[in-house]
Amino acid sequence: MEKFTVHTGRAVPLRRSNVDTDQIIPAHWLKKVTRNGFEDGLFEAWRKDEEFVLNRPERQGATVLVAGPDFGTGSSREHAVWALQNYGFKAVISARFADIFRGNSLKNGLLTVILPQETVERLWELTEADPTAEITVDLEALEVRAEGVTAPFEIDGEVRRRLLNGLDDISITLQQDAEIAAYEAKRPSFKPRTQTAA
Amino acid sequence: MGRTLAEKVWDDHVVRRVEGEPDLLFIDLHLLHEVTSPQAFDGLRLAGRKVRRTDLTIATEDHNTPTLDIDKPIADPVSRTQLETLRKNCAEFGVRLHPLGDVEQGVVHVVGPQLGLTQPGMTVVCGDSHTSTHGAFGALAFGIGTSQVEHVLATQTLPMAPFKTMAVTVEGELPEGVTAKDLILAVIAKIGTGGGQGYVIEYRGSAIRSLSMEARMTICNMSIEAGARAGMIAPDETTFAYLEGREHAPKGEDWDAAVAYWKTLATDEDAVFDHEVFIDASELSPFVTWGTNPGQGAPLSASVPDPADFTDPSERVAAENALKYMGLTAGTPLREVKVDAVFVGSCTNGRIEDLRAAAGVLEGRTVAEGVRMLVVPGSVRVALQAVEEGLDKVFTAAGAEWRHAGCSMCLGMNPDQLAPGERCASTSNRNFEGRQGKGGRTHLVSPQVAAATAVLGHLASPADLSDRVSVEV
């Protein structure tokens, strides 16, 4: 996983609540068997509208998405995170994220930042008025900064440590092999098995 | 202090607990399908890892599979590649797979329970948000992303952030014609699509206790639509009766030991939930959605709401956008909304009881002219049972299409899709924009409402039909 420490970039203000993962990446894109190549599917239906914020010339190259509450609801598809990253987003700011989407994003190094809705509104106003305005997402200082805005945010300490160091969950868990084996040894015999162990 | 059902199951699966770190939980059952697993297997291959517990892992093909001509090569080459990838991965890593054409194939959340693999007190995961379905057995069942799928394949564990507990208590009796689907749609409309965020919901109360296992699965299935991490129902005699004798249910002494353990799982009387919601079952009626998220629903007897009546500004904007997308006008009675298509199926309502309910309404009636109705059983086993009971004949005689098992039009990954602008009454779980096909418009309904809607051509309940029949008589 790529490290995340501090990122500064221009923003895309997305004034929509309940942006579900079917909107972020429609189902017909999920037939791919790779983690890349999803950028053209990002918000595919909405991008058919020339006026959609992502299509505006002044938003090209923006890397911070500022969205309405309940971002990433619905399907567990991690393709939604890959699509945002493939497109170039490094961070998403919202007042509330769906759990599975948030988990997926943090495991891929896409930083999802929870800020109060009033701060989101200020970031919308700022970046709508001035498309060149930059937002800094600082995971070291646990702070989002923009002109006239300094907003602290919280994140689980262990998740932060893994993001700052680009650590991969699986290799960390595999270090606990003895504990996993000890747990396995005491599982009751009535628990079901799908097949005889290989 | 006592513990809740969810806390007990969680505690029994902690492999490692360290202050300041998420608990590492052991996973009892890992379900796989073709869409969210290929990148996970790729990750294993790249790191030279294997599947730690092939005996706790099972795969099926469902999201992408066609429901017609299943004996022919799959026409869409991209879909075909994805299914072939799953087959290759399962063969390479030693995972049991039920592919298209196999008698145990079907929607992953229908297959697990019917094999008896889903049992009380287990942890169940799958790269699919509707894994919450399995909570109906008193299992702690989470939908996970592909990175977590890879993590479980490699370690059979998952580090999980702590959760909060919510009780949704439903007391009283559901009125005639009101189903589990109506109940859960009403719950979601009440607490909102984000209302369950961070919570594991436990459904309790006399109305829940009186539901069959299949109806309980419908309830838990849609927990995710309220944003919840999972949904659960305490195991009881209904659960044990459903499980006894199933292929993977414990046998003999193991059965007795298992039941004794399962009986300890119910929430203690002195346990405290972080949040409680109370619902009077007797006040419920058939419920349908009018918008583009599952929280935008109303009783069938109501009208399309006016966005101006929403006090919350983001809800107001969401309602405006939804009406525009859905092509609806505020104030229109929901019963006057005409449909082009009806879909009966999915992990929410694709089990045998759902098909019986829909067939019961359709028997001796016909699908309205200009309405296309698709009936897609949740699994091959469900299909075989339906055929044995003659339900397929009821559907085809009424003019509906009887298809092969799969996810089908619930998410329109296969050819079963709505055309732009088409309106569908669907027994599935999501009414998101474009969910059933680009530009398609979805109203979530129960199987009974779906069937009555198919007959009348507009949103309707079976009660609307009986009036008509009695007039004709």
Q: Which of B29, B83, B86, B197 to mutate to test the interface with A (most CBs of A within 10 A)?
A: B197
CB atoms within 10 A of CB B325: 17
Closest CA to B294 of B426, B449, B176: B426
Average pLDDT, chain B: 96
Q: Which residue, B250, B404, B33, is CA-closest to A189?
A: B250
Q: What are the distances in angstroms from CA A69 to CA A14, A74, B172, B192, B309?
A: 10, 14, 35, 12, 20
Test A197 with B147 for CB contact under 8 angstroms.
Answer: no
pLDDT interval class at B470 (50, 70, 90): very low
Confidence at residue A197, expressed as pLDDT on a 0 to 100 scale: 64
Compute the radius of gyration of chain A from its Cα atoms. 19
Let me know the angle formed at the C-alpha of B418 by B416 and B420, rounded to the nearest 5 degrees. Answer: 145
pLDDT over 50 (residue B270) = yes
Q: How confident is the model at residue B366 (pLDDT cuts 50, 70, 90)?
A: very high
B57: β partners: B30
CB contact under 8 A, B146 and A16: no
SS3 A140: coil
**Is the confidence at residue B401, as pLDDT, over 60?**
yes
Q: What integer is the mean pLDDT of B304-330?
A: 96
The reply to whether residue B157 touches residue A22, judged by beta carbons under 8 angstroms, is: no
Task: Flag residues of chain A having pLDDT under 50.
Answer: none
What is the rounded average pLDDT of the residues B347-368? 98
Q: Which of B129, B134, B321 to mutate to test the interface with A (most CBs of A within 10 A)?
A: B129
* Mean pLDDT of the B89-99 span: 98
Q: Do A183 and B26 touch (CB under 8 A)?
A: yes
- What percentage of chain B carries pLDDT values higher than 90? 95
Residue found under tokens 């004709």: B472
**Cα-trace Rg, chain B:** 22
A96 reaches B (C-beta below 8 A) = yes
User: Which long-range CB contacts under 8 A does A15-18 form with residues at least 24 apart?
Assistant: A15/A68, A15/A124, A15/B317, A16/A67, A16/A68, A16/B317, A16/B318, A16/B321, A17/A68, A17/A69, A17/A70, A17/B314, A17/B315, A17/B317, A17/B318, A18/A68, A18/A69, A18/A70, A18/A73, A18/B193, A18/B194, A18/B293, A18/B318
State the maximum Cα–Cα separation within chain B, in Å, rounded to a whole number: 72
Q: Does A70 touch chain B (CB under 8 A)?
A: yes
CA distance B437 to B433: 9
Q: What is the DSSP string of A72-112?
A: TBS---THHHHHHHHHT--EEEES-B-HHHHHHHHHTT-EE
By the 8 A CB rule, do A24 and A18 touch? Answer: no
Give chain B positions within 8 Å (CB) of A81.
145
pLDDT at B239 over 80: yes
How much is the average pLDDT of B173-191?
Answer: 97
State how far the Cα of A190 lies from the Cα of B121, in Å rounded to an integer: 11
**By percentage, how much of chain B surpasses pLDDT 70?**
99
3-state secondary structure of B138: coil
Whether chain B has a CB inside 8 Å of the CB on A18: the answer is: yes
CA distance A57 to chain B (A): 24
CA B456 to chain A, closest CA, distance in angstroms equals 30
Residue-wise pLDDT for B47-87, tens only, equals: 999 999 999 999 999 999 999 999 888 988 999 999 999 99
ipTM confidence score: 0.94
Residue B332 scores a pLDDT above 50 = yes
Contact call for residues A114 and A94 (beta carbons, < 8 A):
yes
Q: Is beta strand B14-16 parallel, antiparallel or unpaired with respect to B23-26?
A: antiparallel
- Chain A residues with beta carbon closer than 8 angstroms to that of B82: 31-33
Structure confidence at residue B471 (pLDDT): 39
Q: Is B245 on the interface with A (CB under 8 A)?
A: no
* Chain B residues in contact with A192 (beta carbon < 8 A): 28-29, 116-117, 119, 248-250
- Closest CB to A69: pick one of B47, B146, B314: B314
Is A192–B194 a contact, with Cβ atoms under 8 angstroms apart? no
Q: Averaged over B397-404, what is the pLDDT?
A: 98
Instruction: Please list, in sequence order, all residues whose beta carbon lies within 8 angstroms of the beta carbon of residue A62, skipping any fewer than 6 positions away.
Output: A9, A10, A11, A12, A88
- Chain A residues lying within 8 Å of B119, measured CB to CB: 191-192
Q: Of the candidates A104, A179, A193, which has its C-beta nearest B145's C-beta? A: A104
The two beta strands, A149-152 and A143-146, are antiparallel
Distance CA B96, CA B78 (A): 23
Residue A138 pairs with which residues in a beta bridge?
A6, A143
Q: Which residue of A has its CA nearest to B414?
A: A28
State the pLDDT at residue B467: 52
Kindly compute the dihedral angle of the four CA atoms of residues B57, B148, B348, B320, in this order, to the nearest 10 degrees.
-170
The pLDDT of residue B472 is 40
| Separation of CA B236 from chain center | 21
Q: Is the pLDDT of residue B473 over 70?
A: no
Contact A72, A97 (CB under 8 A): yes
Q: Looking at the partner chain, which of A108, A158, A179 has a beta carbon nearest the beta carbon of B15? A: A179
Q: Touching check for A75 and chain B: CB below 8 Å?
A: yes
Residue B130 has pLDDT above 70, yes or no: yes
Minimal Cβ distance to B157: which of A33, A173, A187: A173
Interface probe for A, chosen from B148, B201, B444 (most Cβ of A below 10 Å), is: B148
